[in-house]
């Protein structure tokens, strides 16, 4: 069984709340985001919904390839993040729910380019999951529907691999014990991560 240190457990619970709120913003704001993509770049359209215990606003900043940059304000806390949706998912019975990959910055907490996923189905919590980028592999841990690097110190190395890679595969095990696979395109990631970073300087 994987034991998550106490600090990581607290970190997971805080991230889970924030990311579930962001996921709600993304799904609730799909039509608004589509309008924003068609609107002039200087006037992005916000997607609004209640999330994370308060009124939130996700603002689409830029789109490149399969990635989008957003900023979100929750009270005094600002979050800026690069986001992509899984292009393919196995098994087929999970295709109705989308996997989301976030690279987020929360300047109020001193967090920069934190990598995490919202799978939108429950994963097994007592096993390692994997992120595969070319020949690089990274161990992941899950809490409910949320996934993070087992070793947060590897975030810089994984981000470098994401920027240089063509594709990412997330191999997991569902709560029922079934193997799962999500595949992401990395087209546009470098531009979008930089846009998110700049928005939270």
| Residue 92, pLDDT score | 81
User: CATH no. for residue 153?
Assistant: 2.60.40.1880
**Residue 77 covered by a domain:** yes
- Residue 19: band (very low, low, confident or very high) from pLDDT cuts 50, 70, 90: low
Closest alpha carbon to 123 in 105, 141, 149, 135: 141
Q: What is the pLDDT averaged over residues 2-21?
A: 44
Q: What is the DSSP string of 54-114?
A: EEEEEEEEEEETTEEEEEEEETTEEEEEEEEE-SEEESGGGTTS--EEEEEEEGGGTEEEE
Lowest pLDDT segment from 1-5, 122-126, 150-154, 176-180: 1-5
pTM as predicted = 0.76
**Residue 155 covered by a domain:** yes
Instruction: Please give the residue range of the domain that contains residue 34.
Output: 6-199
**Residue 116 covered by a domain:** yes
**Residue 18 covered by a domain:** yes
Torsion over CA of 169, 162, 81 and 2, rounded to 10 degrees?
60
Quick: pLDDT tens for 25-81. 554 443 334 333 433 333 333 333 333 333 457 899 999 999 999 999 887 889 999
In the chain, the number of structural domains is 1
Quick: pLDDT tens for 124-169. 999 999 999 999 999 999 999 999 999 999 999 999 999 999 999 9
**Residue 90 covered by a domain:** yes
**Residue 1 covered by a domain:** no
**Residue 105 covered by a domain:** yes
**Residue 185 covered by a domain:** yes
- Residue 96: band (very low, low, confident or very high) from pLDDT cuts 50, 70, 90: confident
| Residue 97, pLDDT score | 83
Residue 2 pLDDT exceeds 90: no
* Other beta carbons less than 10 A from residue 101's beta carbon: 26
């Amino acid at each position: 069984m994987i034991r998550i240190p106490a600090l990581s457990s607290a970190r997971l619970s805080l991230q889970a709340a924030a990311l579930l709120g962001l996921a709600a913003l993304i799904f609730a704001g799909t039509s608004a985001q589509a309008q924003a993509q068609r609107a002039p770049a200087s006037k992005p359209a916000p997607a609004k919904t209640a999330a994370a215990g308060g009124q939130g606003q996700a603002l689409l900043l830029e789109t490149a390839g399969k990635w989008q940059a957003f900023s979100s304000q929750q009270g005094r806390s600002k979050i800026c993040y690069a986001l992509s949706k899984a292009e393919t998912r196995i098994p087929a019975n999970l295709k109705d729910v989308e996997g989301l990959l976030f690279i987020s910055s929360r300047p109020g907490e001193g967090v920069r380019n934190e990598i995490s996923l919202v799978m939108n189905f429950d994963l097994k919590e007592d096993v390692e999951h994997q992120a595969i980028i070319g020949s690089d592999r990274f161990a992941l841990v899950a809490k409910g529907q949320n996934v993070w690097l087992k070793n947060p110190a590897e975030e810089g190395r994984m981000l470098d691999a994401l920027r240089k890679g063509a594709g990412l595969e997330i191999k997991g095990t569902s709560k029922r014990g079934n193997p799962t696979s999500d595949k992401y395109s990395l087209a546009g990631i470098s531009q979008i991560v930089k846009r998110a970073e700049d928005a939270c300087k």
